[in-house]
Amino acid sequence: MPGREILRIDNLSVAFKTGEGLRAAVNGVSLSLTSGEILGLVGESGSGKTILSLAAMSLLPRNAVVTSGRVDFAGANLLTARPDVLRKLRGKRISMIFQDPMASLDPVFSCGSQIIEAILLHERVNRRQAGERARDLLARVGISDPARCMRSYPHELSGGQCQRVMIAMAVACKPDVIIADEPTTALDVTVQKQVLGLLRSLNQEIGAAILLITHDLGVIYEVADRVAVIYRGDLMEEATTGNLFVSPRSAYTEALIASMPSVSAPKSRLPVIGRDDRGVISSVVEARSALKARPSSEPEGATLLNIRNLTKTFWTRESSLSAPQAFSAVDDVSLAIPARSTLGLVGESGCGKSTLSRLVMRLMEPDSGSIEFEGRDLVSLDRDRLRAARRDFALVFQNPYGSLNPRQTVTDLIAAPIDIHEKGRDREATVAKLLDAVGLPRDAMCRYPHEFSGGQRQRIVIARALALNPKLLICDEAVSALDVSVQAQVLNLLQDLQDEFDLTYLFISHDMSVVRHVSDTIAVMQKGKIVETGPAADVFDNPKAEYTRTLLSAVPKIGTAQLTALEAR
């Protein structure tokens, strides 16, 4: 069945109109998709992969211009086709699945009516028949109660269910090509596994070719037949999935694969992607930025943070008159973190990880339990003493774009804790030292957050967290919003800082491989409870809890999964 070329992108260049003229986003990329295959398109944010996929649907934003090339599909160049021609192809013969399934469904219409609408756009059936088709499709994509799902609105479904609805719509008219743009990025690993499995089986069942766009090499490894790698708008290489991972031809691909945290060599320094003045890319292991600045004040192994039987329950109500229902966000959690070690806390969204971090920061009142920090119970402190105690712990948030006030300079941002606790004593000098420590140039001091990239912003956030020499740093999904190569830099930085400043980390993440890389001990959280805790190697190699096993098996792993996937075919 494979072999017939079905979609062809030929020498495509796209640029954005900006104040300073055109800025290239995609440079002369050629790709072809044959029927029945899954082509993975991998690249980091800003690499042009999404623009490429939108161009393939002729859905480019208004400020984008095609400077050269064509997209051939079903005998037409989609880039120049008339709107009515495009309309008949879109959704019928070429369909698309987007990254954020919740945001991609219209919130004010029920899911059923949206699927029915999608069918009626292209098929000559009546509403009742379309409704039956919609129910069949929902059952086909693994929705357990299709009738209920039909009546539900998007906000009443989980992210995974919404993505299933999106997939149902995408395959409703049995298209020849499905473009899936980061279809699992917003989903938990276990849900990701199900959705990828679904795409794979639909690919076999209806024979649609899939262009799978992602930043996640593991996802590519599990489901793609061929891979195209794109970097800064240029196509770096195209190969079969097996070949790409065994013997990557381009230096960028090699560096990208190397920068992924690997389960086999935890705590090692991750190579990052280096680019010299001539634009030559290579995989670089950065030298350690600083040596230990001060001797450790405390003996190794003493418990810094000890959480005992911590509980937090939220009360929610369906409507204003119905009885409130208890929701245990954190349920009898006990954890101990030794000084200068890293505790990795993993779990899927909604399991209570972030609530736990807020409780430890005392940004929220626990219902019961104790939080002992250096033997002192934080729960019983009054306001003033809590304020004073706060200087010993700091929080690094997930989104570096949202956690910096855009109207403040970097100096003001980093010095904020100094201004609060030490009345701004030596602020300039301290900020300069902190910038050195996190690897930012000193001329950053009078600049504003928008002048920095995501990775640099996260460095600013980390510098601010370190301003008062805290003992405990809580990293709540601190690298989740970053690209693999930037993530590698930040993970290296966190490790250097741990040695330099004697830091203890509570590292919260949904990403198993990142947690394995940084942690000494790991705690696995599910529905507000800690289901397993132990040394990182033990938890990974001999998981005891069923849930840990489920989580681990859902992580796309390079090196093993492809074999099983291939065997299954």
Partner 1 sequence: METLSTFVITLGSRLVTALVQLWVIATLVFSIMYIMPGDPVLLLLGPESNPSSETVAAMCQQLGLDQPVLSQYLKWLGNAATGDLGNSLDGVPVVEYVTSSLPKTIELASAAIVLAAIIGVPVGIAAALRRGRFLDGLLTSLSTLGISVPVYILGSLLILLLSLQLGWLPSSGYTDISRNAFLHFQKLTLPGVTLGLGLAASIARMTRSSMLEILGRDFVRSLRARGMRERRVIWLHVLRNAAIPIVTIIGLQLGNLMGGTVLVEALFNWPGLSTLLVTAVSNRNYPLVQGSILTIAALFILINLCVDILYSLLDPRIRRKRA
Q: Is residue 315 within 8 Å of 324, Cβ to Cβ?
A: yes
Binder to partner 1 among 23, 87, 127, 549 (CB under 8 A)? 87
State which residue, 117 or 286, has the beta carbon closest to partner 1.
117
State which residue, 92 or 135, has the beta carbon closest to partner 1.
92
Residue with tokens 């943070």: 305
Binder to partner 1 among 7, 31, 55, 169 (CB under 8 A)? 169
Contact between 82 and partner 1 by CB under 8 A: the answer reads no
Contact between 429 and partner 1 by CB under 8 A: the answer reads no
Provide the β-strand partners of residue 39. Answer: 211, 226
**Whole-angstrom Cα Rg for the chain:** 25
Binder to partner 1 among 13, 27, 104, 192 (CB under 8 A)? 104
Smallest gap from Cβ 93 to partner 1, in A, equals 9
Contact between 107 and partner 1 by CB under 8 A: the answer reads yes
State which residue, 317 or 425, has the beta carbon closest to partner 1.
317
Contact between 33 and partner 1 by CB under 8 A: the answer reads no
In the chain, what's the furthest Cα-to-Cα distance? 77
Binder to partner 1 among 36, 69, 91, 271 (CB under 8 A)? 91
Angle between helices 159-171 and 111-122 (to 10 degrees): 20
The 3-class SS string of 373-406 reads: ECCEECCCCCHHHHHHHHHHEEEECCCCCCCCCC
Smallest gap from Cβ 427 to partner 1, in A, equals 39
CA distance 20 to 29: 24
State which residue, 133 or 362, has the beta carbon closest to partner 1.
133
Binder to partner 1 among 86, 420, 432, 537 (CB under 8 A)? 86
State which residue, 96 or 220, has the beta carbon closest to partner 1.
96
DSSP string, 441-480: -GGGTT--GGGS-HHHHHHHHHHHHHTT--SEEEEESTTT
SS3 of 327, please? strand
Smallest gap from Cβ 202 to partner 1, in A, equals 17
CA distance 225 to 229: 13
State which residue, 95 or 485, has the beta carbon closest to partner 1.
95
Smallest gap from Cβ 117 to partner 1, in A, equals 8
Contact between 319 and partner 1 by CB under 8 A: the answer reads yes
SS3 of 435, please? helix
Beta strands in 74-190 (DSSP E): 76-77, 94-97, 177-181
State which residue, 106 or 377, has the beta carbon closest to partner 1.
106
Q: What percent helix, strand, coil does the chain show, rounded to 5?
A: 35, 25, 35
CA distance 356 to 221: 34
Please calculate the CA angle 367-521-269 and round it to the nearest 5 degrees.
130
Smallest gap from Cβ 53 to partner 1, in A, equals 10
Contact between 106 and partner 1 by CB under 8 A: the answer reads yes
Name the nearest CA neighbour of 551 among 507, 511, 506: 511
Contact between 50 and partner 1 by CB under 8 A: the answer reads no
CA distance 53 to 181: 7
Contact between 103 and partner 1 by CB under 8 A: the answer reads yes
Smallest gap from Cβ 154 to partner 1, in A, equals 9
Binder to partner 1 among 8, 122, 391, 529 (CB under 8 A)? 122
Amino acid letter, 69:
G
Smallest gap from Cβ 134 to partner 1, in A, equals 14
State which residue, 62 or 294, has the beta carbon closest to partner 1.
62
Smallest gap from Cβ 177 to partner 1, in A, equals 12
CA distance 244 to 197: 22
Contact between 100 and partner 1 by CB under 8 A: the answer reads yes
Contact between 314 and partner 1 by CB under 8 A: the answer reads no
Binder to partner 1 among 24, 32, 34, 59 (CB under 8 A)? 59
Q: Is residue 167 within 8 Å of 202, Cβ to Cβ?
A: yes
Contact between 236 and partner 1 by CB under 8 A: the answer reads no
CA distance 256 to 272: 8
Provide the β-strand partners of residue 407. Answer: none
Binder to partner 1 among 57, 167, 281, 435 (CB under 8 A)? 57
Smallest gap from Cβ 50 to partner 1, in A, equals 11
Residues that bind partner 1 (CB under 8 A): 57, 59, 83, 86-92, 95-96, 98-100, 103-110, 117-118, 121-122, 153, 155-156, 166, 169, 316-322
